[in-house]
């Protein structure tokens, strides 16, 4: 039998490694930015074209590389960060495995220019698919400029799996923000298709957060500080009233490295327990500093997951630190055991001496005396005893009256109906004004959740929330497709604050939103101005609808087409549908039932749940006869 095991060629091994390290353009951005930081750069520029498909270029003013180092940097497992296995437990740098540049070069065209300080000329290297095409001397600035072009040019299947430009750009912005937030001492700039997206000068942590997420963020931040032997915690949490349904603004950094850690996220959520609105998530920017020997960051190719030596202790300290900040800055309600100020001694009595009160009494007073006693006391009232003679006359004729009247003339005294202590919940209609109750109702509401309607064979039990979701879903689909939406104009436009990432998502679906009835504009950076909203949606709920939409689109914005329209219609129907627990009047119930059975698919909600069930008379009979 011949041998069948053989060594893979280097270029094949590099492409396999690239599958783990380079998943999308954002992965390249992350690796190149971290290399620039490790090179001790003070200014880093990121240039992107076509969301990274055409070009990703990072320019820094760091240490640069010699000709030999530049050539070796593209070899697998070639690194200047570690020299032995023990160094993995004392890492202070971002990259250390030496796979990033080799993996990137295996799936793209790479152009590297670098010059160390003290050298007159630099080195330029061009690589295509792990093959070095040229290496020559060049004139360039101190530092390194590396351009990655035509990503996945030699792996068409991987290139076809990339999402739309807006989705890929959003992932790139995510990686850029994570790196920029952790290194406020470095100037960062980002350009997309020659347009500037970010310009973040060197500053402190608070101002860096404000620079990334907009000026309105400053008033939302609450500082968190705690220093212990196990961990040093610093950063900011967002006030509960500004919490969103999206989880985009949740940042953990361990030793200036962004991580994802559900266990620590739970500790922060536990500290916010009882303070957040319904379904809202806590937002935070927390920086943890621990001894590198107590963590393991080499458990995932993207290095976004870490293991702590004592996770439980860090969990407890983090929750206590966040709770302390919430209480310290009067965010959380506290019990005040201080004395009541109304019981303090008035200021005018401060220097007065204490005097015993004087009490005057009439010792000769007798309430049973018919004549007032002869005393000098004038404050005692004169009690006059009424005569009790003739009390029998009160019952004259009573016996005769009872015999003649009988039970037919007995009157029962009824107390007048007292007003209710609580205001009844107003019946909700689907229009701007409550609908008038009809005199004869063919539908009934059970527990403000189900609508019961009789039919020939028995009865229908309809879930009011799911039914309304189906009705709204089909209406939005029709309005977006036919562009026949009705918009109600606002007298005073709404101004809502969103992050750069959220505005990118809204820009992607702007046309579809306008077809549903929204009229919006971008008067300034980070602000969305809404002058028109869909008919039937209250002005107070506009921000809730958009936040729910952003939450649904958080992971992925669908490509242009039906998938995008479908997701938008589902999200808005979920936000605007009548909720379980809301009382509906008769006409609203009738209207909902009629609308439901006019739909093309009345049996299922947009989320594939039953909208109604039927109970036949036979089924009811069996239940009674069981």
Distance, in Å, from the CA atom of 47 to the CA atom of 28, rounded to the nearest integer, reads: 12
For residue 419, the model assigns a pLDDT of 47
Answer yes or no: are the C-beta atoms of 64 and 117 closer than 8 Å: yes
Distance, in Å, from the CA atom of 544 to the CA atom of 500, rounded to the nearest integer, reads: 19
Distance, in Å, from the CA atom of 428 to the CA atom of 582, rounded to the nearest integer, reads: 7
In this model, does residue 223 exceed pLDDT 80? yes
Distance, in Å, from the CA atom of 507 to the CA atom of 216, rounded to the nearest integer, reads: 20
477: nearest Cα among 436, 515, 446, 433: 515
pLDDT per position as a tens digit, 267-309: 998 998 888 877 788 889 999 999 888 887 765 666 677 888 8
For the chain, the domains span: 10-200, 205-328, 444-614
In this model, does residue 91 exceed pLDDT 70? no
Alpha-carbon torsion 445, 446, 452, 458, what sign?
A: negative
- List Cα–Cα distances, 47 to 56, 106, 392, in angstroms: 6, 21, 111
Q: List the CATH code of the domain at 205-328.
A: 3.30.230.10
Answer yes or no: are the C-beta atoms of 529 and 521 closer than 8 Å: yes
Beta strand pairing call for 143-149 and 55-60: antiparallel
Class of CATH domain 10-200: alpha beta
Tally of CA atoms within 13 A in the half-sphere of 118 that contains its CB: 3
The CATH T-level fold of domain 444-614 is Ribosomal Protein S8; Chain: A, domain 1 (3.30.1370)
Three-state DSSP state, 103: helix
What is the reported pTM?
Answer: 0.69
Answer yes or no: are the C-beta atoms of 268 and 312 closer than 8 Å: no
Three-state DSSP state, 116: coil
Element (H, E) at 344: none
In this model, does residue 325 exceed pLDDT 50? yes
pLDDT per position as a tens digit, 460-518: 899 999 999 999 999 888 888 777 777 888 888 888 888 777 888 888 888 888 888 88
pLDDT per position as a tens digit, 150-200: 998 888 888 888 888 888 888 899 999 999 999 999 999 999 998 888 999
Q: How confident is the model at residue 341 (pLDDT cuts 50, 70, 90)?
A: low
Distance, in Å, from the CA atom of 544 to the CA atom of 240, rounded to the nearest integer, reads: 15
Highest-scoring range by mean pLDDT, 3-7, 138-142, 330-334? 138-142
Strands in 527-534's sheet, in edge-to-edge order, are 487-497, 527-534, 519-521
Beta strand pairing call for 195-200 and 122-128: unpaired
Two structure tokens written together for 348: 């005018």
């Amino acid at each position: 039998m011949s041998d069948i095991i053989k060594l893979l060629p280097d270029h094949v091994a590099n492409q396999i490694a690239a599958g783990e390290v380079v998943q999308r353009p954002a992965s390249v951005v992350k690796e190149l930015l971290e290399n620039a930081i490790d090179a001790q750069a003070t200014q880093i520029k990121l240039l992107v074209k076509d969301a990274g498909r055409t070009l990703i270029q990072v320019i820094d003013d760091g240490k640069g590389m010699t000709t030999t180092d530049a050539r070796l940097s593209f070899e697998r497992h070639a690194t200047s960060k570690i020299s032995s296995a023990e160094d993995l437990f004392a890492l202070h740098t971002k990259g250390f495995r030496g796979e990033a540049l080799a993996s990137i070069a295996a799936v793209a065209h790479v152009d590297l220019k670098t010059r160390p300080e003290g050298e007159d000329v630099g080195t330029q290297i061009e690589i295509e698919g792990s093959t070095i095409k040229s290496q020559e001397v060049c004139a360039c600035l101190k530092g390194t400029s590396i351009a990655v072009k035509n990503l996945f040019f030699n792996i068409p299947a991987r290139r076809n799996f990339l999402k739309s430009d807006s989705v890929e750009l959003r992932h790139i912005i995510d990686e850029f923000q994570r790196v920029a937030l952790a290194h406020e001492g470095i100037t960062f700039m980002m350009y997309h298709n020659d347009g500037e997206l970010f310009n973040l000068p060197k500053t402190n942590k608070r101002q860096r957060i404000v620079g990334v997420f907009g000026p309105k963020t400053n008033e939302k931040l609450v500082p968190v500080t705690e220093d212990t032997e196990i961990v040093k915690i610093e950063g900011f949490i967002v006030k509960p009233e500004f919490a969103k349904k999206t989880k985009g603004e949740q940042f953990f950094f361990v030793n200036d490295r962004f991580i994802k850690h559900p266990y620590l996220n739970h500790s922060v959520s536990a500290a916010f327990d009882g303070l957040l609105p319904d379904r809202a998530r806590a937002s935070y920017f927390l920086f943890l500093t621990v001894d590198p020997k107590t963590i393991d960051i080499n458990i995932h190719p993207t290095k976004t997951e870490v293991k702590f030596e004592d996770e439980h202790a860090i969990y407890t300290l983090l929750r206590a630190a966040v709770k302390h900040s919430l209480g310290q800055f009067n965010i959380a309600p506290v019990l005040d055991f201080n004395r009541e100020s109304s019981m303090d001694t008035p200021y005018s009595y401060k220097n007065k001496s204490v005097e015993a009160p004087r009490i005057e009494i009439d010792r000769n007073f007798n309430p049973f005396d018919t004549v007032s006693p002869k005393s000098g006391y004038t404050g005692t009232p004169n009690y006059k005893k009424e005569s009790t003679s003739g009390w029998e006359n009160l019952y004259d004729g009573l016996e005769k009256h009872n015999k003649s009247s009988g039970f037919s003339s007995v009157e029962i005294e009824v107390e007048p109906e007292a007003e209710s202590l609580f205001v009844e919940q107003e019946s909700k209609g689907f229009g701007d004004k409550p609908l008038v109750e009809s005199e004869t109702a063919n539908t009934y509401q059970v527990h403000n959740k189900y609508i019961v309607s009789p039919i020939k064979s028995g009865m229908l039990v309809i879930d009011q929330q799911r039914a309304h979701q189906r009705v709204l879903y089909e209406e939005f689909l029709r309005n977006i497709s036919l562009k026949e939406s009705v918009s109600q104009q606002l007298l005073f436009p709404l101004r809502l604050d969103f992050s750069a990432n959220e505005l990118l998502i809204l820009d992607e679906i702007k046309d579809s939103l306008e077809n549903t009835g929204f009229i919006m504009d971008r008067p300034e950076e980070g602000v969305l101005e809404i002058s028109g909203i869909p008919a039937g949606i209250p002005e107070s709920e506009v921000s809730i609808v958009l936040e729910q939409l952003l939450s649904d689109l958080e992971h992925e914005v669908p490509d242009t087409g039906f998938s995008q329209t479908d997701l938008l219609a589902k999200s808005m129907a979920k936000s605007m549908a009548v909720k379980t627990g809301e009382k509906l009047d008769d006409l609203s119930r009738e209207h909902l039932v009629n609308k439901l059975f006019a739909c093309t698919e009345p049996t299922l909600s947009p989320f594939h749940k039953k909208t109604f069930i039927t109970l036949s008379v036979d089924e009811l009979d069996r239940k009674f006869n069981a």
